[in-house]
Every structure is written in C-alpha cells, then in structure tokens.
C-alpha cells in the first residue's frame, strides 16, 4: 500500500489524495455497514455489503421494500438506503410513534437528512418552520372560503395566458409539465404575495428555478456515497443555481417586505395574502425580514414542486382515457351549472369524480416510495420490544401499503372511480372506516399517506387540493386533450432511489374547445 501511495504521490498529489479518500470510504462503508441495529431483521442482506446494498437501493428500491413487506408485514424490518440503514415500521407502530413528542421523533432532522441540508443550505431556523405551519393552518386553510374566488380567478387567467393559443381547429403539442410549473407558481403566488407580484417574472423565474434546482441537486447528491458528497457537490451545477436563485429571490423580496412594513406603520388597509398574514404575526414570533424571505422561499419550495407533480401525474393518467376526460368534464359543467357558474368551495367538494381521480392517481404514482420519515432524536422502545436508537431514520413503506390487495382491491388496476365508490358506499369498504369521507383526496390515514401522517401531515394540502382542482377544471373546460399520434400507453414515471416522478419532457396534444361547446 505504502509503495503504491509513494508511486502515485510522486506523479500526482491530487491522485494520491483521491486514492486515500476512496480507501477511507471503502473502509468506513464496511464499518457503517455492520449491524448496528442487530435485533432488527435486515432485508437485502444477500445483495452484499452496505455499498452494494446502497447501489441496489438506487436501482430497485421498490423490490427491496416489497420483499421486506411480504416477509414482515406486521413487524419492523430494516434496509440500506442511500444514507445508511432505514427502519421500516408496520402501520400499528406508526400509530404508536406518531403521538410521541417532537424531541423524540423529529420531522425536521429527517427533512435535513433526506433533503441534503448540508449542501442545499435551506438555512431554515426550526422556529421558522413552526411559524410557517402555524400561519398556513391559522390563516391560509381557515380562510380558504374567502380566498377561493381569487384563486379561481387566477387559475382561469393563467391557464389561458400560459398555455399556447392552441387554435380550435388545430391540435398543438404542449410539454405540459413546464406549463403547469408556471401556472402553479402564479396561482400559488397570488395567495402568497398578492395579485401584482405573482406574475412578476423576476419573482417567478427564481421561485420556480430555485425549486427545480433544489430537487435536481438532491437527486444527484444521492447518487454519491454519503462520504463522497463533499466532493460530489462540486460536480453538481444545480447547487450553484440554488444559491444564485435564493440570492436573487431575496433581492426581489427585500423591498417588498420593507414596503409592507411601511404600510403597516401608516395604518391603512393591508393586503390579504400570506406575506401579510406572516408579517402580522412576525413581531410576536420574533421573525426578522431575512427570516421572512427565507420562509417565503421555503413556502414556494413546499408548494410548487409537489403541486405541479401531482397535477402532471393526474393529467398523464387522464389523457390516455378519453371517455374519462369527457365524464369529468361533464361533472365539472354540471357542478358549475348548479353553482351559478362559480367554482366555490362547495362546488369543488361536489366534484367527486375529479377528487377520486386525483386520489387514485396519488395511489398509483407515489412520488416517494415511503412516507412518515422521521429522525429518532432520543431512543425509544416500542410496545413490541423494538428498540429505536437515537440517530435512526424510521419510515412507513407507503407504496407497498397502497398496493396491498387487503387494503385496496385489485391494486394493479387504475380505477378512477375507486374512491368515489368507497365514499358513496357503492363498493364494500375493506378498511371498514366509520366515516367514508376518509376516502377524500385530502384525508390522511395510516393506509394512505400521500400527504404524510400525524401531527406533521402536510398543512398545505387543503390549499393544494383546491388549487389543483381549480387548474384542472379550468383546463378541461377550455381545452380538449389527447395523446400524440400513435402513442396509447400512459407516459412511464421515472424512478431513482425513493423517487417516482413524471417524465417532465413529455407532450400532450391540446386544442381550444370551440366556444359553443365551452
Ligand atoms: C399536492 C401537493 C402537496 C403534497 C403531495 C405535499 C406533501 C407533503 C408531505 C408528504 C409532507 C410531509 C408530511 C409528513 O411527513 O407527515 C408535507 C409537509 C409539509 N407541507 Fe406539503 N404537500 C403539498 C403541498 C403543500 C403546499 C401547497 C404547502 C403550502 C401552502 C405545503 C406545506 C407543507 C409544510 C409547511 C410541511 C411541513 C409540515 C411540518 O413540518 O409540520 N405543502 N407535505
């Protein structure tokens, strides 16, 4: 070894350093791969050492979760992910830990690890996260009824403004993800920053690309071994993009925040948007201007990517089913007619087939194979005797649960009516919920965690659900959609590690509905 080192260090000190580093990584990965959680069965042992299991996880994580679930459905098991071992809890134990205090089981530390905080540098003070969730619950969700007309107006405007003209007589190919990204950013921005700023390119560009670069950078970082990520970061241009977009977005927000503070001092009427609701509470919660702009960016990050992905996935499911497009369009039109043409909260609630389609789309396109990811801050012993050591990552195997025939009959079939029929009692409920409204799109249960579970379940889901329904209903009333010539299959999702994402490069064909049909 010494001879090898001497030889290469003579030639190049850089190569020598890399050699030393790789050797260290190899030795450490053997160490980290050793059974630190011996009592918990390891799935995928036969794949080889920790590094081999990590690589297998990047390529076919779903098979490993499926294997673990088939063997240990109601027991704890573990597997090796991109960042070391992960402990997978059965549903009844998720219910047990969800009630533990945050200083035992933390979502923040899990987010930091999952989202590579070390390199992305969200910079979010944990108190800001608590503040943001509080404003979303107390102001955004509680006022959905009041803000719905603004949301509906912005959806109507931006759908037509952002999509190409798509002449009524000609089908036009549209890369729909790109368009939805802008539409979602504008419609969300209407409620986050108000009607003037939500369409400002200076904000839109950086809010959108900050979000896109963050998620791309995370995916790329995960390809590197954890110990090599300090080097890997320099090969990921999106990380520089993240820093640049954050800086530019903050430059944009600074004078906006100052102007709002001035308006508050003058005591005149104040805007009715998320920024203002946050500013109204900022003093009592000790949040400064920099924290405010960090939070607005964090809000866009939480809202834009998730909402765009969910809408794109549902459209991909819909566009290959022309009869369903027609049926949903008729539902929208009849609900509109019954509500004097106004898409009120009540009207959205009545769109039960659309709601069911969205939930079935989430069931079959999971975005992430796991949910309820938490970091164990203080050791915990569960009722079955399992010891969760401090530092462990725990989770629920979301995708395999959604494909378990005991919970969802014929899980391999995409059934857009599934959740509508369960809600109305048209099909028997294998889960025997007392309240069949548990099958609504926004409801979280231990059998359906698309929006998470427990006290940290997504607080923005009510807003997101309304926004998605408003955008899709406007799009379907204004446009015909179909697949391009000679393509009949739904566009396949792209998978890597835990992620299952829509292919964001795909086109669908669009045509403006002739006005007498509209
Ligand atoms: C379809 C769109 C969305 C999806 C699929 C989604 C999904 C999720 C999930 C899975 C979590 C983690 C929950 C857990 O682990 O228990 C979460 C947390 C969160 N989401 Fe969403 N989300 C969406 C839209 C939004 C929107 C529009 C907002 C803001 C208005 C938002 C704000 C948040 C926040 C602040 C958290 C952290 C909650 C906490 O730490 O307590 N999300 N979301």
Residues 425, 392: contact at Cβ < 8 Å? Answer: no
pLDDT of 169:
80
Q: How far is the CA of 460 from the centre of ligand 1 (A)?
A: 6
Structure-token pair, residue 215: 């998620």
What pLDDT was estimated at residue 124? 64
State which residues form the domain around 395: 33-120+370-404
3-state secondary structure of 490: coil
Residue with tokens 């799109």: 441
Among 451, 456, 500, which residue has the most ligand 1 atoms within 8 Å of its CB, making it the best to mutate? Answer: 451
Structure tokens at 243: 């820093």
Domain assignment present for 98: yes
Residue 354 · residue 332 · CB < 8 Å: yes
Strand partners, 494: 501
Backbone angles phi, psi at 388, to 5 degrees: -100, 110
Within 136-193, residue ranges assigned H as helices are 144-162, 176-193
Supply the DSSP symbol for 139.
I
pLDDT of residue 358: 98
Cα-to-centroid distance, 173 and ligand 1 (Å): 32
> 423 lies in a domain?
no
Beta bridge partners of 371: 396
Q: Is 381 helix (H, G, I), strand (E, B) or coil?
A: strand
pLDDT at 176: 97
Residue 87 in any domain: the answer is: yes
Structure token digits, residue 404:
């378990």
Between the CA of 51 and the centroid of ligand 1 the distance, in Å, is: 31
**What DSSP designation does 228 have?**
G
- Confirm or deny that 198 is annotated as ligand binding: no
**Is residue 378 assigned to a domain?**
yes
| 488 lies in some domain | no
Q: How far is the CA of 107 from the centre of ligand 1 (A)?
A: 12
Domains: count for the chain: 1
Task: Indicate the SS3 state at residue 373.
Answer: strand
Pocket test for ligand 1, best of 111, 198, 295, 306 (most atoms within 8 A of CB): 306
Which residues have a Cβ under 8 Å from the Cβ of 5 and sit 6 or more positions away? Answer: 16, 19, 20
Phi and psi dihedrals of 81, rounded to 5? -100, -160
Sign of CA dihedral 175, 177, 181, 187: positive
**Cα(391) to centroid(ligand 1), Å:** 23
Quote the pLDDT of residue 381. 95
> pLDDT truncated to tens, each residue of the chain (518 aa)?
444 445 444 556 555 555 555 555 555 544 444 455 889 999 999 999 999 999 999 999 999 999 999 999 999 999 999 999 999 999 999 999 998 999 999 999 999 888 898 898 876 677 888 899 999 999 999 999 999 999 999 999 999 999 988 777 899 999 999 999 999 999 999 999 999 999 999 999 999 999 999 999 999 999 999 999 999 999 999 999 999 999 999 999 999 999 999 999 999 899 999 999 999 998 888 888 888 888 998 899 899 999 999 999 999 999 999 999 999 999 999 999 998 888 889 999 999 999 999 999 999 999 999 999 999 999 999 999 999 999 999 999 999 999 999 999 999 999 999 999 999 999 999 999 989 999 999 999 999 999 999 999 999 999 999 999 999 999 999 999 999 999 999 999 999 889 999 999 999 999 999 876 44
Q: Domain for residue 75, yes or no?
A: yes
Q: Is residue 93 part of a domain?
A: yes
1 contact partners, CB below 8 Å, separation of at least 6: none
Which residue do the tokens 């399992």 mark?
A: 386
**Is residue 185 in a domain?**
no
CA-proximal residue: ligand 1, atom 4 (nearest): 306
Strands of 50-209 (E only): list them: 77-81, 84-88, 105-106, 172-175
Instruction: Give the span between the Cα atoms of 500 and 365, in whole angstroms.
Output: 7
* Ligand 1 binding site (Cβ under 6 Å of any ligand atom): 107, 129, 132-133, 136, 299, 302-303, 306-307, 310, 371-372, 450-454, 456-461, 463-464
Quote the CA–CA distance of 465 and 359 in Å, as a whole number: 10
pTM of the model: 0.91
Cα separation, 388 vs 386, in Å, equals 6
Q: For 111, how many CA atoms within 13 A lie in the half-sphere containing its CB?
A: 16
Give the E-state strand segments of 158-262 in sequence order.
172-175
Which of 441, 469, 448, 463 has the alpha carbon at shortest distance from 133?
463
């Amino acid at each position: 070894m010494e001879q090898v080192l001497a030889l290469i260090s003579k030639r190049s000190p850089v190569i020598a350093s890399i050699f030393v580093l790789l050797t260290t990584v190899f030795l450490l990965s053997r160490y980290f791969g050793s059974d630190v959680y011996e009592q918990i069965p390891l799935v995928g042992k036969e794949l080889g050492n920790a590094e081999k299991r990590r690589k297998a996880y990047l390529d076919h994580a779903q098979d490993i979760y499926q294997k673990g679930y088939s063997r240990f459905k109601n027991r704890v098991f573990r597997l090796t992910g991109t960042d070391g071992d992960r402990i997978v809890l059965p549903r009844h134990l998720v219910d047990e830990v969800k009630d533990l205090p945050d200083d035992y089981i933390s979502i923040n530390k899990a987010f930091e690890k999952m989202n590579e905080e070390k390199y992305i540098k969200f910079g979010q003070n944990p108190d800001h996260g608590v503040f943001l969730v509080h404003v979303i619950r107390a102001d955004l969700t509680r006022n959905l009824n009041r803000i719905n007309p603004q949301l509906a107006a912005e959806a109507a405007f931006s759908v037509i403004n952002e999509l190409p003209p798509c002449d009524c007589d000609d089908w036009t190919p549209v890369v729909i993800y790109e368009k939805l990204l802008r539409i979602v950013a504008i419609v969300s921005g209407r409620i986050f920053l108000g009607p003037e700023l939500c369409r400002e390119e200076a904000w839109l560009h950086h809010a959108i690309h900050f979000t896109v670069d963050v998620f791309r950078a995370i995916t790329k970082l995960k390809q590197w071994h954890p110990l090599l990520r300090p080097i890997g970061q320099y090969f990921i241009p999106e990380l520089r993009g993240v820093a640049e977009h954050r800086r530019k977005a903050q430059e944009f927000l600074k004078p906006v925040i100052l102007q709002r503070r001035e308006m508050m001092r003058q005591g005149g009427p104040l805007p009715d948007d998320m920024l203002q609701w946050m500013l109204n509470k900022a003093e009592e919660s000790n949040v400064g201007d920099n924290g405010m702009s960090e939070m607005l960016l964090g809000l866009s990050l939480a809202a834009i990517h998730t909402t765009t992905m969910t809408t794109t996935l549902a459209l991909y499911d819909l566009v290959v089913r022309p009869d369903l497009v027609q049926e949903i369009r008729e539902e929208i039109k009849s609900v509109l007619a019954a509500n004097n043409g106004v898409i009120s909260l009540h009207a959205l609630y009545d769109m039960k087939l659309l709601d069911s389609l969205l939930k079935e789309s989430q069931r079959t396109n999971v975005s992430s194979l796991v949910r309820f990811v938490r970091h164990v801050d203080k050791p915990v012993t569960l009722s079955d005797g399992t010891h969760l050591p401090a530092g462990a990552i725990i989770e629920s195997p979301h995708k395999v649960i959604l494909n378990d025939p005991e919970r969802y009959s014929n899980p391999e079939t995409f059934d857009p009516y599934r959740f509508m029929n369960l809600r109305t009692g048209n099909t028997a409920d294998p889960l025997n919920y007392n309240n069949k409204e548990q099958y609504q799109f926004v409801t979280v249960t231990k059998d359906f965690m698309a929006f998470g579970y427990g006290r940290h379940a997504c607080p923005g889901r009510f807003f997101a659900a309304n926004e998605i329904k408003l955008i899709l209903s406007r799009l379907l009333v204004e446009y015909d959609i179909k697949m391009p010539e000679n393509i009949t299959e739904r566009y396949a999702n792209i998978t890597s590690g835990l992620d299952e994402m829509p292919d964001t490069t795909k086109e669908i064909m669009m045509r403006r509905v002739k006005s007498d049909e509209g």
